[in-house]
Amino acid sequence: MPGDAVVLRNTRSILEKYGLQPKKALGQNFLIDRNIRDKIVDAAAITGEDVVLEIGPGVGTLTEELARRASRVIAVELDGGLVRVLRDRLPPERVAVVEGDVLALDLPSLLGEGSPIKIVANLPYYITSPIIFRLLEWPRWEMMVIMVQGEVADRLVAGPGTKAYGSLSAAVALHARAEILFRVSRRVFYPQPQVDSAVVRLLPRRDLEVDLQGPSLLIRAAFGQRRKTLANALAAAPWNPLSKEETEKVLLAAGIDPLRRGESLRPEDFLRLWMEFQRVGKIQDVAGRKGE
């Protein structure tokens, strides 16, 4: 039998009690295997001192175990129906259930000041990459253990020149060290998705004492038009007031051939290139342009 029969039965019972159905549009595939749940929590090395941010808690299968081990869990759920389930089922003194879109929430205000936060989540497939980009640029996380679609996991750890390498790969490599911990069968979810998953652990890099927002913009621009050369792609970026010819000069000054494409650059190349753009001193203010 796929998954864990007890958890599957409980999940179905909870949904039926509240008159809910899994919403495909929100990527709702609920984990129904306690062994996988425990492996995820173990991988995050949760202790009684930890504050944990969970994204997309669903009916609370993972949340319950996090709450047993952590000091506090902040669970962010977009679905109002599931918010009711979570608030009824989970102890409020250990779990704060927040209704909202993690991409729209003010994380500093939500989580306050204090110790670094661990992030543990079964991320919805349909919005995985935007969530990861958002979390990477938030400075207070000390570890992420996330379950994602298997293909996304491969992209998270891919190197330059490989088929899976893209903007997400380069951005992750600048901000963190990522490793795939284990693969997860589609059979341990309800409803069963069309693809398998994987659990990935990310640890923040401490060796780069620079603001990575600028290099992240470069990465988005370079990969946003993969068929274009770097000179053409970067010259078209909204934050870049330089002409194509001036952009080519910046690339050459950074030791990068303007005819190369983004997928051939290492993460460190993007960092060096951004420093050269800054040296030129004509870059538009990038504040508030993270989504470009």
> Distance (Å, rounded) from C-alpha 104 to C-alpha 143?
21
pLDDT greater than 60 at residue 2: no
Tens digit of each residue's pLDDT (9 = 90 or more) over 38-53: 999 999 999 999 999 9
Q: Look at residues 157, 268, 152, 254 and name the one whose alpha carbon lies nearest to residue 215.
A: 268
Extended beta strands in the chain, E state:
30-31, 51-55, 72-77, 95-99, 117-122, 141-149, 176-184, 189-190, 197-204
Domains plus CATH for the chain?
A: 5-204 (3.40.50.150), 213-280 (1.10.8.100)
- Express each pLDDT in 95-148 by its tens digit: 999 999 999 999 888 888 778 999 999 999 889 999 999 999 888 899 999 999
Radius of gyration for the chain, computed over Cα atoms and rounded to the nearest angstrom:
21
290, pLDDT greater than 80: no
